[in-house]
Structures are given as structure tokens and as C-alpha cells.
Structure 1
Amino acid sequence: MNQPIVLSINTSWNLVNFRRNLIVRLQQAGFEVIALAPRDAHSDALVAMGVRHIPVEIDSKGLSPFNDLKLAAQYWRILRRIRPVAFLGWTIKPNVYGSLAANALGIPVINNISGLGTAFIKVGLLTRVVEMLYRTALARSATVFFQNRHDCDLFVAQRLVRREKAKLLPGSGIDLGQFVPGPAGQPSHPVFLMVARLLRDKGVVEFADAARIVRASRPDAQFQLLGFLDVQNRTAIDRAMVDRWEEEGILRYLGEAADVRPYLASATAVVLPSYREGMPRSLLEGAAMGRPLIATDVPGCTEIARAGENAFLCAPRDARLLADAMLALLALDPAALAAMGRRSREIAEREFDVSVVEARYLDAIARATERPATA
């Protein structure tokens, strides 16, 4: 009988879209993969992959201590019943409350700090509370993975995790067989594509403002926005604002997509003006498909978007500088643009193959299960 192992994150969507390869690798290694995540439109896809899905109620952006205590108790009851060989967590509440429950039951814990989010972008009381929770929850973890050096160094410096437990991953990795450059061709007009949840912290407003600036001198340029409207997030962009941008004619909202590859393939460049990232999936996918990148010079983005190689970088929260980066890309001749795309693919092949992520997880699980979780 396969050994149970638990993966927990704040959406089933995230597991299906970003952890599919890891799930398959764990199943091939002889584990029964159990997902603790809220039920959403992608939960059935998890089940179709052979994953046992157990719904948990996670209010990702809620600040109610009562609800968080209920979540911790929910984790404890489920983990006590399953007794998995290890608990793997992503996103803040599974990493905190799932880890605390697993620690109480002597279950080894492996965390992934995939991004620091709003609490670390706007430093204040909430930041201090989150730091305290992380410090307590991560104290007994076997391994804590980070997706960029900046986040890792910050957690170590703030004594949220011990240096010997902190390990780096190349994001969630990229399946280079699925994301491949298409045949070269010259589109009739340049297309700037942003793929992200529609949040202010992702730089969506700056993308729209930069589009307005660029189109004043380059009306042939097109701007596309792909991603779901996250109404639960405190920095969410509402549909009314998106409608106003479309009515103004500065961008086109593409909605959501199960497969982003056709949109990436038709883009001249992939853009992400985020305020801070762990490892941005959209830039990683864009690079794997041989697209030039435009991004902000912030932690996470600069792991894959490299000025002078495959990307133009600009300061965050500045639409004018973002527009300047777009105009600089438009000024390139076709050969220079193609060379940037080739370098994107080369970086993805050299550093971000998903097999690296899978191997490091299997190694961390093997080491964690060879010793007590409190070691």
C-alpha cells in the first residue's frame, strides 16, 4: 500500500497548474498524494490525477484569529486521521497552521515560501504578526524551500528560519517539453502580454497606465491582460475598472485560460510589473517559450528576467518607466528581439527545468523521514 503524503495550499487551482509534475513524480515514487485545499473548479481535476482531495476551508486573506484557530484544528483532525509520512505546505496559512498541526503530531514538515505577499510589501503591524507566526511554525520544519535568494536571506536575517534548513528552488520549475518556442514569425503588430491575477500588487494598474502612454506614440501596439479576477484579495482590481480600460481602448482583457501557451506564443513580449514575487510563473513560462521579458527590478522577477540578456527592467510602481522599457523593446530590430527570446529559452533550459524541483523535493522527503520531525 502506498504511503500517504499530504500537500496543502490555498487553492486546488494552484496544485493543478503549478504542482502537477511534482504530484506525478511523488506518485511514481510510491506515495499516495493527498491534497488539503479548498474546493474550487479545479478540485475534480486533482481527483482525475489520482489525488485524494480533502476540502479545507482557508480564508486566504482573512485576519480573524477565530477562523485561523478553526483552520489549525481542522488540520490537526485531518492529519491525525491520515498520519502521512510528511506534510508539504505552500502559501502562508497552510505553511503556518498546517505546519503547527503537523508538528504537534510529530509529522515531518517541508515548507515552500513561494512569495511574501502584501504583508512584506507594506511593512507594518501585520508584517510583525506574520513574522511571529512564521518563526513559530517553521521552527521544527525539516526543510524550508525558497524560490529566490532575497526571500531566503530575509527569513534567515530575521531569524524566522535557521540557515541550515533554508534551501533554494528554481521556482516551481518548468516543463520544457510542454513550454517550447514556436516557429519564428513577424506579427502584424506588437503585443505586450501580462499574465497574472488581477491585483494591484502585481502592477496591473501600472500596466494599464503604461499602455496608455505607449499607444499615444505607437497606436499599433496591443496590450493583453490574462488572469482571473481575485475578488477575495485586499488589493484586487474589480471588473468595473477592467471594463473602463477596455472601453478606453488601451488594453484587452482575455479572462482566464486553462492553457496559456497560445497567448504566450503570439506575444511579442511578456510583461510583469509586480511589486515583489517569489518566482513569477508567467515570466518563467514566457522565457521557456522564447519570449523577451519586461519586468520590475524586484526580488523574484530578476531571478529569470535579466537586464542586458533577455529582459528590460524598470522600477516598480512607475508607469512612465514601464512605458519607457516597452518603447525601448519596440525600438529593437527583429534580429535583436529574436536574440533576446533565444536567451530567455537558454536560461530556462539551464536553470529552471522542473526535474530539478522534483529531485530536491524527493531528497528533502527522504532526509525528513529518516529522522524525527523534531530534529
Structure 2
Amino acid sequence: MTGNKSLAVVITANTSWYLYNFRKNTILAIIAEGNEVYAVAPKDAYSKKLEELGCKFINIEIDSGGTNPIKDMGTLYNFYKIYKGKKVDVVLNFTPKNNIYSTFAARTAGVRVINNIAGLGTLFINESIPSKIARLLYKYSQSKADFIFFQNEDDRALFKFHKIAQNVKSDRLPGSGADLSRFTVSPAPDDGVVRFLLIARMLFDKGIGQYVEAARVLKDKYGSSVEFKLLGFLDVDNPSAVSKEQMAEWVNEGVVNYLGTSDNVEAEIAQVDCMVLPSYYREGVPKSLLEAGAMGKPIVTTDNVGCRETVDDGYNGFICKPKSSKSLEFSLDKIIALSHDERLKLGSNSRLKIESEFDERIVIEKYLKAIMR
């Protein structure tokens, strides 16, 4: 696709973990086209894995959840130094602060910018001073991008409503897609226990509280014939984070099982009957729902930005109201009431939906085309 011209491509995010877990196959495809790829992110346990893919890794400090302008200016300057020093052709940005500061730095260095709006979190909901400042920075920075990918039409419409980046070309991606060769259909065991799983960062905005409340009622009703699992980073740097103490309290109560984190999420998804995400956070399209759908699991999620795209209500799962543990409980109870074969049928429909709408290859092809524009 790239002909004889090899490009220097930078791919940035606020963690190496994100780049490896969400963009691994995109990185491999860009390298396979003969391009040089620099992964720019804070150093963590996944930085080495990025190098093993064939990237050149560059460490950068990003205070993801912080509002310290001096730290952010330092991040901006460090991005600029990288782009000037490496003679970069194009920068692919993921995650909010990268979309802002890496864009400013790249434009100043005369480098093309392709941004990915993977959900806007609480940025356009919260009316705090930091949120208002962040919105202004978003508005100004995104007008400097050469191309913007949105993961859902709600975010695209929100940009239009706020008159952000009106003259910048854009396209919609099917989230970050699902790797259909890695995530294959794996029916749950038919052993009389209905198992639910929620995979996300442990944030109350992701509906963790509602999940626990619904689990408490349903455990009381069905006892050991139902199980509620949680998997994902705990006690993260976020005002909405669930603390280790709170999680321990829920686990000790016997309401949920906390599985920690995993690089092999498919092994955990394979064992459950249904994937749940009661988020009221502004999502892109949640990766956990796409991967569970690819594995043939019914989905219960909220009528919320990014989440609703993954479920046709009654076809491959159920939609519930955001912030309502009662509505979530009702939807989970509907899953429990189904026979094992009926749940497998919903799961089979999930796989069909993911194959037709959310194949990761669609995402990769669009990125390769955008890089070569």
C-alpha cells in the first residue's frame, strides 16, 4: 500500500498498556507495510512488549488524570522535541491528553496528525473549571488535526454541536474493533450456574455500583446458581475510582468475585454466560463488549453513548437504563430466566453482529488509508 516510500509513524497514548492491548494489530499492519513505528507513551510493563512487536519505544511523562498546567506544558514540549528530532511523517493519537498536547506539538513541528476520539468520558458532562478548560483545549487542538476518527456518531454529533473541528475531515470507525481470529466462539459450560462478567477499569462511572447492587438482589434470589465477576484495574488515578477497601468489602460480603487484571481476557470471557457493562461514562465503543460478542456471549449494557451500538435489544442481549440498578437487575434476571440454549442463541447473534459491523480489519484498513493520504 505504501509503495516504495517508508514513513516514520508515531503512535501515542497515555499508557503503553493501551497501545499494546488496543492497537497491537494496527501497529503490526503499519510495520508490515514497510514503515517505521515509534510508540510514544509513559513507560510501564507493556513498553517492552511494544518493542518486541518491532516498534521503537520512546518514554514520555503524561499526568493522565491531573490538571497541573506546568506538567502538561512539559508534556507538550517533550512531544515537540520527539517530533522535531525524529523527522516524523505522521502522528496517530489516542486518549484525551495525547489528542490535545501531541496535536499541538505535531502541528508546530509541521507533522500530519490523525486523532481518535474514543469516547469523551466526563469531559462534556462535567461543568467544573478543569473540564471547561479541557473543552477549550479540545476545541482548539482538534481544529489543528488533519483527520479525526470517531468511534460513534454521538461523539461526532457532539463535535458538530460545539462547532469543534468543523473543517477537519473525519470518518467513523467501528470502535477499536475485535480481533476475530483471537476471540472465537466459546460456549459457557451448562452446569446450572449462570455467570456474569464485567470487564473495565473499576470506576463508579462504569456502573460498578449498579452492578454490585443488582448482584446483591439476584444473589439473594438465586443463591449459588448465579455468579458475578469483575475484572480490571482497581484503585486507578481517577476521581471515580473504586478503592481496594471497597472492593474487599464487596468480595467479603460474597456479592462479587474480583479477578484482578489479565492479559488473557479470553480465558475469563469463555467461562461466562453473559458480558455486562452498565456504564454511564461517555464511551467510544467498549472493547470488552466487542470481544465478548466475538466470543459468542450475550451482552447487557446501557442505553448510553458507545454502549448501545453493541446490542440490538432482544437479538443479542438487553439494553438497560443508565444509573439504574433496578433496570440492570431486570435485564440480568431476563438472562437468568433463559434456557442455556436460548443464551447460546443470543451469543451466536452477538458473533454475527461483531463479524458484520466490528471486525478489527475494518479499523486497520481505514488507518492504513489515512496514513497514506
Shift in Å, 1:121: 3.6
Rounded Cα–Cα distance in structure 2 between residues aligned with 1:150 and 1:46? 32
Give, in angstroms, the shift of residue 166 of structure 1.
2.2
Question: Once the 2 structures are TM-superposed, how far is the Cα of residue 243 of structure 1 from its aligned partner?
Answer: 0.3
Is residue 143–residue 168 contact of structure 2 (8 Å, CA) maintained in 1?
no
Deviations 1:190-228 (A, max 9, x none): 101000111111111111111101111111210000111
The answer to whether the aligner puts 1:27 opposite 2:31 as a matched pair is: yes
- 1:124 Cα deviation from its structure 2 partner: 4.1
| Alpha-carbon offset, residue 161 of structure 1 | 1.7
**From 233, 236, 247, the counterpart of 1:228:** 233
Change (3 A) 1:292 1:149: same
1:359-370 alignment, distance < 5 Å = 359-367=365-373
2:82 maps to a residue whose letter is I
The structural deviation recorded for 1:355 is 0.9
Counterpart of 2:59? Answer: 55
Name the structure 1 match of 2:248: 243
Q: Structure 1 residue 69: deviation in Å?
A: 0.8
Aligned match of 1:113: 117
Question: C-alpha distance in 1, partners of 2:16/2:266?
Answer: 21
SS at match of 2:209: helix
Does the 8 A contact of 1:210 with 1:322 survive in 2? yes
* SS of the residue 1:306 aligns to: coil
Which residue matches 1:147?
Answer: 151
Q: Secondary structure at the match of 2:39?
A: strand
CA deviations on 1:39-72 (whole Å, 9 max, x unpaired) are 0111111111111110000000100111111111
2:9 corresponds in structure 1 to 5
Superimposed CA distance per residue, residues 136-190 of structure 1 (whole angstroms, 9 cap, x where no aligned partner): 1111211100101101110122111226512100111111011000256413301
For 1:246-257, what aligned pairs fall within 5 Å after superposition?
Answer: 246-257=251-262
> Where in structure 2 are the equivalents of 1:220-299 lying within 5 Å?
220-275=225-280, 276-299=282-305
2:194 counterpart letter in structure 1? P
Q: For residues 4-33 of structure 1, what are the alpha-carbon distances to aligned partners after superposition, in whole Å with 9 as ceiling and x for unaligned?
A: 110000000001111011000000111111
Asked if the contact 1:156/1:163 (under 8 Å) is kept, the reply is no
Q: Secondary structure at the match of 2:70?
A: helix
CA distance in 1, matches of 2:192, 2:59: 47
Partner of 2:351: 345
Q: Which residue of 2 aligns with 1:132?
A: 136
**What code does the residue aligned with 1:161 have?**
A
- Matches of 2:275 and 2:127, distance apart in 1: 29
Q: Aligned Cα RMSD in Å?
A: 1.4
Maintained 8 Å contact 1:156/1:162: yes
| Count of residues in Structure 1 that have an aligned counterpart in Structure 2 | 367
1:218 counterpart SS class: helix
Q: Paired residue for 1:331?
A: 337
Q: 1:187 aligns with which of 176, 186, 191?
A: 191
5 Å matches for 1:166-185?
A: 166-183=170-187, 185=189
Tell me the percent identity: 39
User: TM-score w.r.t. structure 1 length?
Assistant: 0.95
Superposition deviation, residue 37 in structure 1: 0.2
Partner of 1:370: none
Partner of 2:364: 358
Distance 1:216 1:163, change over 3 A: farther
Letter of the aligned partner of 2:117 in structure 1? I
Check conservation: 1:131, 1:160, Cα contact below 8 A: no
Question: Could you state the TM-score of these two structures normalised by the residue count of structure 2?
Answer: 0.95
Which residue is 1:91 aligned to? 95
- Does the CA-based 8 Å contact 1:4-1:31 persist in structure 2? yes
